[in-house]
């Protein structure tokens, strides 16, 4: 027999806990009788017509599980951390607890029982979750090495205050290394140390990091990052990476570079470098599809050509 609908109070628009329901005057028996409410798991409910939203799901899940916090892939997505394509749209729900508490047992939730230290869990708009740095460590056992490097580069890069509203990086390489020392027996820590060795301040996107790593794999020398055409000028055009000694500027132009204003900015940037006698190579998503194989060949050719240029060799000798 179909359960009757008992409408006694307006429901929240997102998942809610039994405690929140009681605050609205709804008791557990009433919730079970309502057709517009679906029980999710112990002490957790959602409107029957609710469209899944990761942030709302994580908020209610953390609230309904005392002592627990959002972690792993869920925390990475909520923090806006760069993830590989196969995880970028994941709606997985990960919840962690300290070892002293019983493990998480909830339908549809990946539970973890972990060791944490002070400062590794924070409150973000009312939701307890791992910090960006700790999230990076939690994912060290899941992500391939280069994806872990990309996320690490994102943590340690210097922000642009005019666009990001912050003046300091999310973390620093010494801070990440200190955290690894605290968790030296944790699964994935070896890969995390390898990632630290490959991380560099100056990559502004995952694709810039992957291009740099592809260059190293191809036997190319390590490039300089964020090269100013005029080092002492704060308004100088900047190349993503390249070789000042060879006057070679390398740019990775991602999706936002297709916007008209950005296109003109890129053209002015490249024109300034070329006017100063630099060779400029510009790569994009098509080059990323073959793991930058074609790009690294083009860079090798440009470096050889630069070395044959007497003016470049003279500058290098100085």
CATH of the domain at 267: 3.40.960.10
> Within this chain, do residues 62 and 139 fall inside the same structural domain, yes or no?
yes
Residue 297 has pLDDT above 60, yes or no: yes
How is residue 94 written in tokens? 């990960």
Domain total in the chain: 3
* Residue at which a domain ends, from 201, 233, 256: 201
> Within this chain, do residues 162 and 59 fall inside the same structural domain, yes or no?
yes
pLDDT at 66: 86
pLDDT tens digits for range 110-144: 999 999 999 999 999 989 999 999 999 999 999 99
* Residue at which a domain ends, from 201, 224, 242: 201
> Within this chain, do residues 58 and 197 fall inside the same structural domain, yes or no?
yes
Q: Are 145 and 195 in contact (CB under 8 A)?
A: yes
> Within this chain, do residues 64 and 142 fall inside the same structural domain, yes or no?
yes
Burial of residue 197 (CB within 10 Å: 0-12, 13-18, 19+) is exposed
> Within this chain, do residues 58 and 39 fall inside the same structural domain, yes or no?
no
Q: Which of 31-40, 118-127, 190-199, 227-236 has the lowest mean pLDDT?
A: 31-40
For the chain, give the percent of residues with pLDDT over 70.
83
> Within this chain, do residues 154 and 234 fall inside the same structural domain, yes or no?
no
pLDDT tens digits for range 230-256: 999 989 999 999 999 999 999 998 755
Beta strands (DSSP E) in the chain are 16-17, 37-41, 44-47, 69-70, 94-98, 110-114, 121-124, 127-130, 224-228, 238-243, 248-252, 279-283
Cα distances from 93 to residues 45, 66, 156, in angstroms, run 15, 16, 26
Distance CA(2)–CA(289), nearest Å, equals: 53
pLDDT at 264: 81
Residue 166 has pLDDT above 60, yes or no: yes
Q: How many CB atoms lie within 10 A of CB 302?
A: 20
Range of the domain at 175: 52-201
For residue 116, the surrounding DSSP H or E stretch is none
Q: What is the pTM of this model?
A: 0.84
Mean pLDDT for 150-167 is 94
User: Strands 224-228 and 16-17, how do they pair?
Assistant: unpaired
Residue 5 has pLDDT above 60, yes or no: no
> Within this chain, do residues 62 and 196 fall inside the same structural domain, yes or no?
yes
> Within this chain, do residues 58 and 165 fall inside the same structural domain, yes or no?
yes
pLDDT at 59: 87
Distance CA(84)–CA(143), nearest Å, equals: 8
Mean pLDDT for 304-318 is 61
> Within this chain, do residues 174 and 246 fall inside the same structural domain, yes or no?
no
Burial of residue 110 (CB within 10 Å: 0-12, 13-18, 19+) is middle
> Within this chain, do residues 207 and 108 fall inside the same structural domain, yes or no?
no
pLDDT tens digits for range 46-75: 676 767 789 888 988 888 888 999 999 999
> Within this chain, do residues 61 and 191 fall inside the same structural domain, yes or no?
yes
For residue 310, the surrounding DSSP H or E stretch is helix 310-317
> Within this chain, do residues 64 and 179 fall inside the same structural domain, yes or no?
yes
pLDDT at 9: 58
């Amino acid at each position: 027999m179909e359960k009757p609908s008992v409408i006694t109070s307006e429901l929240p628009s997102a998942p809610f806990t039994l405690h929140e329901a009681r605050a609205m005057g709804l008791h557990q028996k009433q919730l079970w009788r309502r057709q517009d409410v679906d029980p999710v798991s112990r002490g957790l409910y959602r409107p029957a017509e609710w469209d899944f939203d990761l942030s709302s799901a994580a908020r209610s899940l953390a609230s309904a599980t005392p002592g627990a916090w959002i972690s792993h892939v869920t925390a990475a997505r909520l923090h806006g951390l760069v993830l590989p394509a196969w995880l970028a749209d994941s709606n997985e729900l990960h919840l962690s607890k300290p070892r002293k508490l019983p493990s998480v047992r909830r339908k549809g939730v990946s539970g973890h029982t972990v060791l944490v230290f002070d400062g590794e869990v924070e409150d973000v708009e009312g939701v307890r979750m791992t910090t960006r740095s700790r999230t990076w460590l939690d994912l060290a056992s899941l992500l391939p090495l280069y994806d872990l490097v990309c996320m690490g580069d994102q943590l340690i890069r210097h922000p642009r205050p005019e666009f990001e509203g912050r003046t300091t990086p999310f973390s620093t390489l010494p801070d990440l290394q200190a955290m690894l020392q605290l968790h030296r027996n944790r699964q994935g820590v070896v890969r995390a140390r390898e990632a630290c060795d490959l991380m560099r301040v100056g990559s502004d996107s995952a694709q810039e990091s992957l291009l740099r790593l592809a260059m190293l794999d191809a036997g190319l020398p390590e490039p300089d990052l964020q090269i100013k055409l005029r080092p002492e000028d704060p308004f100088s055009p900047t190349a993503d990476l390249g070789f000042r000694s060879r006057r070679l500027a390398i740019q990775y132009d991602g999706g936002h570079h297709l916007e008209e204003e950005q296109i003109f900015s890129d053209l002015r940037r490249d024109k300034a470098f070329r006017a100063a006698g630099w060779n400029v190579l510009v790569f994009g998503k098509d080059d990323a599809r073959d793991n930058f194989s074609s790009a690294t060949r083009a860079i090798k050719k440009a470096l050889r050509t630069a070395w044959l240029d007497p003016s470049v060799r003279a500058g290098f000798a100085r």
